[in-house]
Chain A
Amino acid sequence: MNRAHAVAAGSRSGVGLWGRVRPAMLHLGLIVAALVVLFPFLWMIVTAFKQPGHEFDPQFFPRNPTLGNFRRVFSEFGFLRYFGNSVVVAVTAGFFATLFAALAAYAFSFKNFVLKNKVFAVLVASMMVPGLMYVVPQFAIVKKLGWMNTYRAMVVPHLANVFGLFLLKQYMDTIPRSLVDAARIDGASDLQIWRRVVVPLALPVIATLFLLTFQFHWSNFLWQLIVTNKQSLYTVPVGLAMFKQAHEELYTLKMAASAVSIVPISLIFLFAQRYFIEGMTKGAVKE
C-alpha cells in the first residue's frame, strides 16, 4: 500500500529528471502552438506598418514603419464610415436580440401559458436548421418589404436568437422561485418583477448574450453583403471585400483595414473573456 502510494505520487507530482524536463517540454509545446495560432495576426499587424510595395519583405519588423496605411484606409477608402456602420449594426442588433431573448426567457422560466411546450419544441427544432438555409428566403422577404439598403435589413432578421433564449432561460431557472413569489405577493407586476428582480440577477448571462450577439453581427458578412449595395451602408467586412476586389495588390492597406476591423472584438474579448468562453461553450455540451 505504502509503496504503491509512493509510486503513484512520484509519477504524478514529478520527481527526478523527468519531473524537471516535462514542464519545460510542455512549455515549449505551448509556445510553439501559440506562435502557430497567433502568427497570422502578428504578420497582419507588422505588414500593416510596412511601406506600400514592401509588403513581401521577409523581415518581421518593418524597416521604416509607417502609419500611412491606416490613415489612407480611413480617409481615402471610407473605412471610417464602414467602421461606424459596423458599430451601429452590432450594437443595436446586440441590444435588441438580448432584450427580446430576456423577455421571452422570463415567460418560459416563470410563467405558464397555453402551448408552452409546443412553442418550446418548435424553437428547439429550429436550431437544427443551418444558417445558410435562411439566406434565400430571408433575402426575398427583405426585398418584398422594401428594406434593401437599410440598417433594418441588416439587423431585424436576426433578432430572434433561439440559442440566446435557451442560455437565459437556463440561467433564470436557477433563480429561487420564492424571490419572484415574494415580489408578486407585494403586488409587483410581471414587468416590475422582470425589471427589478430577474434582470438584475441574470445580469452576467445577459452581458454574455450581448457580447455574443455583438460578435455575431460584427462578422455577419454574407448577410450584410447581400442586403446592401450602397457604399455608405457597407460594414467593415463588406467594405473589405469590395476593397479586395478593387485593389487586390494593395496588401499593406488590406492588412491595415483587417487589423482595424479585429481591434474591437479583440479588446472586448481580452477584458471579458470569461463571459465569452462561458457563453460559447455552455450551449455546447450539457452534462
Chain B
Amino acid sequence: MKPSLIRDNISAYVFLLPFLAVFAVFLAYPLLYSFFLSLNRETTLVNVFENLRFVGFANFAALLRDGLFKWSLLMTLYYAALIVPLGIAASLLLAVLLNSKLRFYKAFRTAFFLPYVLDLFVVGIVWTFIYSPHYGILNRIFEAFGIHAFSEQGFLGRPSTAMPAVVLVNVLKGAGFGMILYLAALQNIPDSVYEAAEVDGASWWQKLRLITMPLLRPITLFMVVVGVVAALNAFVEVFAMTSGGPSVDVGGRAYGATWVAGYNLFDTFYIKLKLGYAAAMSYVLLVIAIAVSLVNIRLLRPRTEY
C-alpha cells in the first residue's frame, strides 16, 4: 500500500472511531453477549452476572413449553392485527382530508403530526385518566348516550376492550406520521393522470382503485411493517396504562389481556430477574423481527417488469 493510501485510511478511521467504538461496545457486542447469556442461568439474585451457570439450550427448550411466552406472542399478534389496519385507515383518512389543500392546511398538518413527537409514556398517563371508570370523561360521554358498559371497570379494566384501547392510543399518536407519507405520495400523482382517466370515462371508484391505490401501495406495505415493528416493540404504552392486565382466564390459567411480548420481556428480566431466560426470549423476538424485515425488503424492492 502506498504511504498516502495508508494515511488516508488512518484519517478515515479516525473519523469513524467514536461512532464505531460506541457501536461495537453497545450494539454489536451486546448481541453476542446476549447469546452467551441465553445459554446460561443465574444462580443468585445479587451479582447476577458473576454467578452464571451454563445450561446449553435449556432456556430455549423452556421457552417452547412456556405458556406465558406463547400467550405474549399471541397478544403481540393481536396488537399487530389491530394497529396495522387502524393505523393505515387513520393515516390515509387524514392524508385524504389534507390533500385538498384547503385553508389552514398547514395548521391542521401541524396539529395531526404533533402527537407523534411527544413522549408515549406521558400520552399513556393522560389516556389512562381519560379512560377511567365512573367519572372518566370518556365514560361520561358514553353514559350520555346510554352506554353503561364501561362505568365499573373503565376501558382498560375490561379484558375485551383493554387491548383495543391501548392500541387506539398509539394509532392516534402515530397517525400523523403515516399521514405525511401518504400525503407526499398523493401529491406526487399528477393531475393529468386523473384527467386522462376521466377522458376515457373512468368513474370515481375506478380512479381510486386503478390509479390511486396502486400508487400508494409502497406506503401501505411500509405501514404494515411499521405496525408489526410497533407491536414487537410495544412496552411503554402497556407499562403506562395496564401493566399487562387485566387478567383473563384461559383454560384455568390467568393471563394478562395486554401482556405483549415486550412487556413479558421486561417482566422476565426486570421484575423476575431471569436474565438468561430473557436473553433467550429476545433472541426469539429478534428472529421474528428479522423475518419481518426480510419480507419487507422483498416486498418493497422496486418491481422491474416494466
Residues of chain A touching chain B, judged by Cβ–Cβ distance below 8 Å, are 4-5, 7-8, 11-12, 22-23, 26-27, 29-30, 33-34, 36-38, 40-41, 43-44, 47, 55-56, 58, 96, 99-101, 103-104, 106-107, 111-114, 119, 122-123, 126, 128-141, 143-144, 156-160, 162, 165, 189-190, 194, 215, 218-219, 221-222, 226, 236-237, 240-241, 244, 251, 254-255, 258, 261-262, 265-266, 269-270, 273, 276-277, 280-281, 284-285
Contacts and interface: CB of A to CB of B under 8 A. Distances in A.
28 contacts: A4-B199, A27-B103, A30-B98, A56-B136, A111-B15, A113-B12, A113-B13, A113-B16, A123-B23, A126-B23, A129-B31, A132-B235, A136-B275, A137-B30, A137-B34, A137-B37, A139-B269, A140-B49, A159-B22, A165-B19, A218-B119, A222-B266, A254-B129, A262-B118, A265-B117, A266-B114, A280-B180, A285-B219
Ordered nearest first, which 6 A-B pairs have the shortest CB separation? Answer: A137-B30, A56-B135, A219-B119, A113-B12, A104-B19, A160-B23
B122 A261 contact: yes
Nearest to A238: B121
Contacts of A44: 126, 129
A231 B59 CA distance: 35
B11 A130 contact: no
Residue among B15, B49, B136 with the most chain A CB within 10 A?
A: B15
B94 interface: yes
Contacts, number: 266
Nearest to A23: B102
Contacts of B229: 130
Contacts of B265: 132, 135-136
Interface in B194-234: 194-195, 198-199, 218-219, 222, 229, 232-233
A151 to B, nearest CB: 15
B125 A132 contact: no
Contacts of A122: 28
A18 B290 CA distance: 49
Contacts of B9: 113-114
Given A4-B198, A137-B33, A159-B22, A112 B125 contact: no
B23 A132 contact: no
Interface string B148-165: 000000000000000000
Contacts of B125: 240, 244, 254, 258
B177 interface: yes
Contacts of A26: 97, 100, 102
B111 interface: yes
B15 A273 contact: no
Contacts of A129: 27, 31, 286, 289-290
Contacts of B89: none
Contacts of B22: 100, 156-157, 159-160
Contacts of A36: 172
Contact of B181 (A38, A165, A285): A285
A119 B232 contact: no
Contact of B12 (A107, A219, A244): A107
A261 B102 contact: no
Interface in B1-48: 8-9, 11-13, 15-16, 18-20, 22-23, 25-31, 33-34, 37
B120 interface: yes
Interface of B: 8-9, 11-13, 15-16, 18-20, 22-23, 25-31, 33-34, 37, 49, 93-94, 97-98, 100, 102-104, 108, 110-123, 125-127, 129-130, 132, 134-137, 140, 172, 175-177, 180-181, 184, 191, 194-195, 198-199, 218-219, 222, 229, 232-233, 235-236, 239-240, 262, 265-266, 269-270, 275, 278-279, 282, 285-286, 289-290, 293
B289 A130 contact: yes
A24 B145 CA distance: 27
Contact of A140 (B19, B114, B176, B275): B275
A58 B120 CA distance: 25
Contact of B111 (A12, A34, A157): A34
A258 B175 CA distance: 21
B206 to A, nearest CB: 13
B31 A137 contact: yes
Contact of B110 (A11, A135, A270): A270
Given A30-B98, A133-B289, A141-B29, A281 B126 contact: no
Contacts of A7: 198
A58 to B, nearest CB: 6
Contacts of B100: 22-23, 26
Contacts of B240: 241
Contacts of B111: 34, 37-38
A40 B126 contact: yes
B195 A12 contact: yes
A215 B240 CA distance: 19
Contacts of A273: 110, 113
Contacts of B236: 221-222
